[in-house]
Amino acid sequence: MGLIKKITIAPVYLEMEPDIDGFEGSLPYTIGQGIKLVDVNQYIQNADFSWASDALSKNRLDRFKQKWRYGLLHEYEAEEWSQSMPEAESQRLIHRAFLGLRMIRPTPKGYEYLQAQVRDVKKVEPFHFSDVEEQIFAPIIDTVNRIRIQDAVALTHILPNLLQVNESTCLPVHLAIENLEVGYISDFVHVKQLLWVTALDGLFTSDEWEHRGTWVATERIKHFVDPNTLIYVGVPQYLTPPNITVGAVISDIYEARNAFAHGKWMPKKFLQKPGYGGARGKHLTYADVLLEATSLILRTVIVKILKDDLLEFFADKQRVNDHFSKLGFVRKKKTASSRQAWV
């Protein structure tokens, strides 16, 4: 048996127009680790799906050929008739890169992939594809996003460390990434909020009394992420989100989480407070704004950790606690006059 060229493809967005977002003239774009952002249409149009006629519906085949325009592609060599470690590793690489793009700029696109042998550009033989497209319940603001070339550039800076997360002992970052993903595939608002704030807690707090609680978490987050960071940047002009910052919403995010964690609904004051006019005429409340802000803050934190080589720092709880203790972000003994929230 000899080696043959194989590819793994994951589309990054459906129905992407060829002249939008600065892609024309920029592709293929090399991200790293053997992964490129490419126009995958030529591969899909020349793919022979006849072997999968029993498993692949006509609608699914039409969607492959009509909707898969841009995608992440990993090219490698493997045994022609074998499907083992090289194929699994290629799929892992593509999946991690896809998650990296979601951290940088989420879209409503769920993850799916296709693997194929490539004899030449006009003879593509798929041998595996994901069974069902994962459904994404993205916050409203994410549903209007498109992947831009600058997002691919940003991915090049975080991908090496993102690939190391599973191999490293940095469990807090590993769990934060998992919580982010599970939150995106859940359509329950309270589940998203709980998972995403739990991820932040896992990064910035610990189970020792002086290193846990709402005040400790929010102050540490505001130190790590500039509190003046805007929640909404670069949104379409037809949307009218509020001009608010991380520092303005972080305490409310924890108040909402604490309500859910103690068996309550979202506080009425957040549901009654207006948010903004969203896509397709939908009117959002401030509770929706808090959910979108939670996603932005968690994604910003993870990307910063990966970009700034902070995996070892966040893997060591003692080191994290010592760092923030020196800054005074620790829980102090509660007194009768204290009004800090220690939940």
Rounded average pLDDT over 86-109: 92
Q: Considering only 102-111, 211-220, 312-321, which range has the smallest mean pLDDT?
A: 102-111
Do residues 270 and 256 make contact, with C-beta atoms less than 8 angstroms apart?
yes
User: How high is the mean pLDDT of the chain?
Assistant: 86
**Residue 51: per-residue pLDDT:** 66
Token pair listed for 318 = 């003692």
- The pLDDT tens digits of the residues spanning 284-343 come to 899 999 999 999 999 999 999 999 999 999 999 999 999 999 999 999 876 444 445 444
Rounded to two decimals, what is the model's pTM?
A: 0.89
Q: Tell me: pLDDT of 157 over 80.
A: yes
- What is the per-residue DSSP string for 46-78? TB--GGGTTTS-HHHHHHHHHH--EEEEEEEEE
- The pLDDT tens digits of the residues spanning 187-205 come to 888 999 999 999 999 999 9
> What is the rounded distance in angstroms from the CA atom of residue 138 to the CA atom of residue 106?
8
> What is the rounded distance in angstroms from the CA atom of residue 213 to the CA atom of residue 220?
11
**Residue 128: per-residue pLDDT:** 79
Most confident of 68-72, 237-241, 255-259: 255-259
**Residue 240: per-residue pLDDT:** 84
**Residue 116: per-residue pLDDT:** 87
Confidence tier at 177 by pLDDT (50, 70, 90): very high
SS3 state of residue 187: coil
> What is the rounded distance in angstroms from the CA atom of residue 12 to the CA atom of residue 147?
7
**Residue 134: per-residue pLDDT:** 60
Spell out the domain ranges in the chain: 3-129, 165-326
- 312 burial class (0-12, 13-18, 19+ CB within 10 angstroms)? exposed
**Residue 78: per-residue pLDDT:** 85
Q: Is the dihedral of CA 34, 110, 179, 297 positive or negative?
A: positive
- The pLDDT tens digits of the residues spanning 303-318 come to 999 999 999 999 999 9
Confidence tier at 159 by pLDDT (50, 70, 90): very high
- The pLDDT tens digits of the residues spanning 7-50 come to 999 988 744 454 445 555 678 889 999 999 988 888 888 777 77
- What is the per-residue DSSP string for 147-158? --HHHHHHHHHH
Question: What percentage of the chain carries pLDDT values higher than 70?
Answer: 84
> What is the rounded distance in angstroms from the CA atom of residue 99 to the CA atom of residue 170?
17
**Residue 15: per-residue pLDDT:** 44
Do residues 295 and 139 make contact, with C-beta atoms less than 8 angstroms apart?
yes
